[in-house]
Structure 1
Amino acid sequence: MRPPIFPLLELLSFLQALLYLLYHCHRYHLVHLPSSVVGVLAQVYNMHTMQSSPPSAGPDLWLEPLTMKTHLNDFHEMCADEKACEWSSLRHTQNLESSKKLMENTFTSTRQAPWLITCAIMSSKYPAPDTKGGCCTKMIGCVRTTRASPWGLSVGYKIRSDCWGKGYATRALQLFLDEYWSQRRTAPKSDIYVAQIPAVNAVAFDKSLTGKIVNDRAQLRHVSNDEEDGDGDDIEITHLIAQVDPNNVGSMRVAEKCGGKFVTISEKSVKVWRFEEKRDMAVWKLDKPLKRV
């Protein structure tokens, strides 16, 4: 006769398998689940360490600083790609001049803010035009640190749509993280954390990130090396934040494969250009490796 605990373990294994099945059915658009449910499933998925190992770099893919002189035309092709921009806050551009202004105003790194870095994702295997099976070197996307959030400095990534499904975004984000954490990064606290209270009914799991919401909801206590520091004091950046629409299953998978830890669903927090109302966002935390802290 088997000990009574065995049926319980079998039941837990069955429930775990069922949760994994639901999560993957949502990722591949087989079922549609509410954002809060997706958040719970993602958290369970992370807890059982079923993430793939980060991919290794290769000579066919690398990062380089984004510059107007080198990358403008390829940058325009990416920004004019409506499908590539379907989950972005900014809609696709209509002409080269619009893309140029966007690069100048939003995507250019400056010495005044060295914690904000923008990299072009380069591939040597992009199909060359007017050739049969030939390849050329081309910028196929970009990855960058973007703006402050209630949870820390955000990171974003975008790949032109004809390069989707090849693992480029995952590899590029991992390359970016490796480079970003290769040195100590600091920034004024006000440029890392924004004083914004997340939605009260958001599904939060990592209390060290979302902090403590006081009764009057007038203040959010953020994570930093010294929580008593003033907003103008520099603090060390020890993690980056990826905010991803739960329905953007490709980007959800990228954050997951690069070691992201699911934190919460922040409700109605980001305006995606093709939707009238703000969208719920899944918040992922990408930690600096402990050996480099």
Structure 2
Amino acid sequence: MTTKTCIITGANAGIGKEAAVQIANQGYHVVLACRNAARGEAALKEVQTRITSGSVELRLVDMSLQSSIKTFARSFLEKYSTLDVLIHNAAKFDIAEKEPVFTSEGIESVWATNHVGPVLLTELLLGALEKSSQGRVLTVSSKGLLSFPFLKVDLKDPEFRERKFSVAKAYYQSKLAQVMYTYWLAERLSHTRVTVNCIRVTNVKIDLNRYPDIGRAAQTAYKLKSKFSITPEEMAHTYTHVATSVELDRVTGKHFGERNQPVSSSKYSRDITQQKKVMALTKAYLENTL
């Protein structure tokens, strides 16, 4: 039986790393797609000690840079003709940022990392996904979107070039865009064997050592929040379920919560006309790349 292959972006820590362990233990070959080489190597060694079946490898990619994503995809396809699961776990949410940070390619980094990058990587690997007996694309949203029921993607200024920047607004806008992308792509690929679903991540305990620049008040708030949070391992079970469960072979265009149950999203996110507008905007960022 052919070993299935799964790519997980941002797999060096948290939910991504735990999902790598769980999915490898389902017999998959898991590619840890990480931005930082040192952290990636450390994660690779840890995951290798924790798996009892399957296999893992490390490949580097910066999801904020289209050039890096193209290099990653080209390198992957030189070795693998088929991809079974693509999990867009990598995301940027630096709570210490007070002003927008732009990448070397000139795109606001939250928008680039959390939305534009995943769309590009999916497009570049779509041919390999279609060669799978049942390819799966998993995007990731946030339960925090429930606090912003009327949020919309700012089609004129998604990068906060003219309006006041808020890292929370930038983050949730990018996650809303990913939900809409999920629905749009699922419909686009409805005639294929590729399914597209979204995971809604709830409050998960985080390692505050990853955010050394945040103030004491923010640290206290996050410590309090962690008391009501689940572990990365618990959240990763939903990743694993949606990525590997046979019962979901034909399920597409759904949004799953932490208990593996389908959950709803805003009326705006489900509006086909609005989805097309967001994807037209997104494609404008990629017109010189694809």
Tell me, yes or no, whether TM beats 0.5: no
TM-score, structure 2 as length reference: 0.28
> Larger % of helix: which?
2
> Larger % of strand: which?
1
TM-score, structure 1 as length reference: 0.28
